[in-house]
């Protein structure tokens, strides 16, 4: 039987990881993160479906797809949409697939406009503030979901 799949969905500007404000987000690229996740997923008997989009609707379509495909969980770094998107909040509530919120930085210790998380109000868990490792810590939580 195929391994359970974990969708890892990344929002706007995360395609620029590596060069984007490295003092905040670190120097790992999204491809580096995908590689780390795939290595660990193999050990955990999971498969990774890694995606990135700068468009809110793509993230929503992919969450619906994750449920339709029977994904085990979604790791979601919605980036700035975290703080603005009721549509993403509703999408998380609309599916049964558990969603773990992920951030490289810790938005709660940054500007006030980052303190609200519409994603976090609907997600089952949140990992933030560990740089690229936030994704790996979130992946460790999947087998228990």
Please give the residue ranges that form the binding site for ligand DQA (CB under 6 A).
13, 77, 79-80, 82, 103-105, 107, 114
Catalytic residue among 25, 81, 118, 135: 25
Looking at the DSSP bridge assignments, the partners of residue 8 are 50, 75
What is the closest distance, in whole angstroms, from the C-beta atom of residue 45 to ligand DQA in the complex? 27
- Please tell me the distance from the alpha carbon of residue 75 to that of residue 88, in angstroms, as a whole number: 13
**CA–CA separation, 81 and 126 (whole Å):** 15
Nearer to ligand DQA, 80 or 145 (CB): 80
Is there a catalytic annotation at residue 25? yes
Classify residue 135 by its DSSP letter. Answer: H
115 carries an active-site annotation: no
For residue 4, give Cα distances in angstroms to 1, 35, 45, 62, 145: 9, 18, 7, 16, 12
Rounded least distance, CB 34 to ligand DQA, Å: 15
Q: How far is the CB of 38 from ligand DQA (least distance, A)?
A: 19
Catalytically annotated residues: 25, 103
């Amino acid at each position: 039987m195929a391994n359970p799949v974990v969708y890892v969905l990344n929002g706007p500007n995360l395609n620029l990881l590596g060069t984007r404000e490295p003092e905040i987000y670190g120097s790992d690229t999204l491809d580096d993160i995908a590689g780390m996740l795939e290595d660990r997923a193999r050990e955990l008997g999971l498969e990774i479906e890694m995606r990135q989009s700068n468009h809110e609707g793509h993230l929503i379509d992919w969450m619906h797809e994750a449920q339709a495909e029977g994904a085990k969980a979604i790791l979601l770094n919605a980036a700035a949409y975290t703080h603005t998107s009721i549509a993403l909040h509703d999408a998380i509530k609309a599916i049964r697939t558990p969603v773990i919120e992920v951030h490289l930085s810790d938005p709660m210790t940054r500007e006030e406009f980052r303190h609200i998380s519409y994603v976090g109000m609907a997600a089952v868990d949140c990992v933030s503030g560990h740089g690229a490792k936030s994704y790996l810590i979130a992946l460790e939580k999947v087998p228990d979901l």
